[in-house]
Amino acid sequence: MADATLGELAERWLDHKRASGRGMSDNTETAYRADLHAWGRALADHHGIDVPEDLEPLQTLNPAHLTAEALTAAAAAFFRQGKSPATRSRRISAMRGWCAWLVRTGHLTADPTLDLETPRLPRRLPVALTDEELGRIVRAASTPHERARGQWILLDRALIALFAGAGPRTSEVVGLRVHDLVRDADGALLRLRGKGGAHRNVPIAPAAVEPVDEYLADRRRRLGPFEDADPLLVTLAGRAITTGMIEYRVDQWFRRAGVRRPEGELAHVFRHTYAVGVLREGGSLNELQAALGHQNLATTSIYTKVAAEGLRDLARTAPVLRHLRETRPSPAASGG
């Protein structure tokens, strides 16, 4: 339809992505909508279009407004607004994907994003917790706290066990059902649903299963029986746990433990810690890639540098080095 607004075309693009083989998670769709909304606002400003507060900016625009000049001006506006390189890069990626679809479907004759420059992102290594920090966090989560809202120690311990034992994303933990903890003669597996609806099974050690079993037993005593298809993790009120609830609980653990909180999604630091631990214990990159559910091995390979940094620190503090530093040879022994 030649007179379709960009708002309508954005909905068709999102429908197309949802229906594609890889699918699209709710979080990804929310991010796309926020990015396209930001583009719509910036493009409307560039073209001098006054958008009512109750109207989506893209509804006031059509494909003719998607020019290379307008997109460059909008990208510059994001920079002036102080948006981070990561945010600007993500927005440009969303616009490129959308415009490529608009060209394929005949709504644009040429791709106006070809001259857009992606901001250079600073190379930041993932932050992993030390054993000492992990111990403090576990102790904080395992200790009753009178001002903690909705504290359920066995749930907290189960959360830590799942994060530390399998390295899942927070969204994957939220999506777990009771039957996703699979047990057989060889041990236990955690069945995770990752990005794009992809499934993977990750082995989980008995030491990580035990806190989950303790939580499930206590849940049965408190809230009554549950079905295999029910959410694995629920609050004391019986409601399925959400991403926000997990982030709140993790924030409380860090605060009470006195551990410096990393930037970004707090719970993700456990995924980083799991990944570095797998490599330090001798796991291969391919094994780690499968466990984390990365589609690209290059994404996984960043953990090799973090693991190597840790090994260098370990080498510098090895006991034999301390003895060598403290014990100096006599001049005769040194051959002088």
- What pLDDT score was predicted for residue 312? 45
Q: Which of 195, 200, 261, 280 is catalytic?
A: 195
220 catalytic? Reply is no
> In the predicted model, is pLDDT for residue 207 greater than 80?
yes
* Residues 127-176: tens digit of each pLDDT: 778 888 888 999 988 888 776 677 899 999 999 999 888 888 888 999 99
Q: How confident is the model at residue 119 (pLDDT cuts 50, 70, 90)?
A: confident
- What pLDDT score was predicted for residue 22? 61
- What pLDDT score was predicted for residue 318? 40
199 catalytic? Reply is no
> In the predicted model, is pLDDT for residue 21 greater than 70?
no
Q: Which of 12, 83, 256, 294 is catalytic?
A: 294
Q: Which long-range contacts (CB under 8 A, 24 or more apart) does 321-330 make?
A: none
Q: Which of 91, 271, 272, 274 is catalytic?
A: 271
Average pLDDT over all residues of the chain: 82
Lowest mean pLDDT among 66-75, 83-92, 114-123: 114-123
Q: Which residues of 50-77 are buried (b: 16+ CB within 10 A; e: fewer)?
A: ebeeeebbbbbbbbebbeeebbbebbeb
303 catalytic? Reply is yes
> In the predicted model, is pLDDT for residue 43 greater than 90?
yes
Lowest mean pLDDT among 70-79, 116-125, 149-158, 192-201: 116-125
- What pLDDT score was predicted for residue 285? 73
Mean pLDDT of 58-63: 94
Lowest mean pLDDT among 172-186, 234-248, 301-315: 301-315
- What pLDDT score was predicted for residue 334? 39
**Please, where are the H alpha helices in 20-84?**
26-46, 68-80
Q: How confident is the model at residue 240 (pLDDT cuts 50, 70, 90)?
A: very high
Q: How confident is the model at residue 80 (pLDDT cuts 50, 70, 90)?
A: very high
> In the predicted model, is pLDDT for residue 212 greater than 90?
yes
Q: Which of 46, 88, 91, 169 is catalytic?
A: 169
How far apart CA 64 and CA 167 sit, in angstroms, is 46
Q: Between these two residues, 319 and 285, which has the higher pLDDT value?
A: 285
- What pLDDT score was predicted for residue 1? 44
274 catalytic? Reply is no
Domains of the chain, with CATH numbers? 6-104 (no CATH), 131-265 (1.10.443.10)
How far apart CA 26 and CA 267 sit, in angstroms, is 18
> In the predicted model, is pLDDT for residue 232 greater than 50?
yes
- What pLDDT score was predicted for residue 124? 58
> In the predicted model, is pLDDT for residue 300 greater than 80?
no
> In the predicted model, is pLDDT for residue 279 greater than 80?
no
Cβ neighbours for 32, distance < 8 A, ≥ 6 positions apart: 14, 17, 24, 94
Question: Quick count: other Cβ atoms within 10 Å of Cβ 276?
Answer: 25
